[in-house]
């Protein structure tokens, strides 16, 4: 007699535990957990504005006073002051329309473009990329930045940034 596949049980259990409206593979949940744990620096089970600020500082970025709270914004569905794993996965699996995506990309770009000149420094983007994927080798990070800055100008325009993020 054969029982249910172990991965199917894990997949359903994890999705049920998280109370998500979508079915996710075990691998996808693990990817989300890994990304969440990078931001949950103190392993509290939630990400608050202070965590966002610490991640920004590690990337040599300085956020304005309420900028971290704004980044959490509507994602904090229970108004706890931070986002938990369920809220994070909800954000990551919620389809967004093109106009919302454009606004989010522009807001993200402005976080990097501190002087407002319409470009961001390639080396700053590289530090940020390495922070978010700590297993990324120096050569892999260089390759990614090379895709965003193919002319090796040392700065990345908004259009190049969007192409970099969307891998187009």
Which tokens go with 32?
């989300």
Per-position pLDDT tens, the chain of length 168:
444 444 443 343 344 455 555 677 888 888 888 888 888 878 889 998 888 888 777 766 777 777 777 777 778 888 888 899 888 888 778 776 777 778 878 887 887 787 888 888 877 777 767 666 667 677 877 777 788 888 888 888 888 888 777 764
Among the listed residues 121, 116, 119, 117, the one whose alpha carbon sits nearest the alpha carbon of residue 59: 121
DSSP tag of 153: -
Digit-coded pLDDT (tens) for 88-109: 888 778 776 777 778 878 887 8
Digit-coded pLDDT (tens) for 18-32: 555 567 788 888 888
DSSP tag of 66: T
DSSP 124-159: HHHHHHHHH-TT--HHHHHHHHHHH-TT--SEEEHH
Residues of the chain with CATH 1.10.238.10: 1-94, 97-168
Q: Are 117 and 110 in contact (CB under 8 A)?
A: no
- CA dist., res. 4 & res. 81, Å (int): 40
Question: CA 106 from chain center: how many Å?
Answer: 15
- Give me the CATH topology for the region 97-168: Recoverin; domain 1 (1.10.238)
Residue range 1-94 in CATH 1.10.10.10: no
């Amino acid at each position: 007699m054969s029982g249910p596949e172990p991965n199917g049980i894990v997949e359903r259990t994890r999705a049920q535990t998280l109370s998500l409206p979508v079915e996710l593979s075990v691998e996808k949940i693990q990817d989300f957990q890994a990304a969440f744990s990078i931001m949950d620096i103190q392993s509290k089970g939630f990400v608050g504005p202070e965590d966002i600020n610490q991640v920004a500082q590690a990337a040599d970025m300085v956020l304005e006073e309420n900028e971290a709270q704004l980044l959490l914004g509507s994602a904090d569905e229970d108004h706890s002051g931070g986002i938990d794993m369920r809220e994070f996965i909800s954000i990551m699996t919620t389809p967004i329309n093109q106009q919302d995506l454009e606004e989010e990309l522009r807001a993200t770009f402005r976080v990097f473009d501190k002087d407002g000149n319409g470009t961001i420094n390639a080396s700053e983007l590289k530090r940020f990329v390495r922070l978010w994927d700590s297993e990324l080798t120096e050569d892999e990070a260089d390759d990614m930045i090379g895709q965003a800055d193919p002319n090796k100008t040392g700065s990345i325009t908004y259009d190049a940034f969007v192409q970099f993020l969307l891998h187009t």
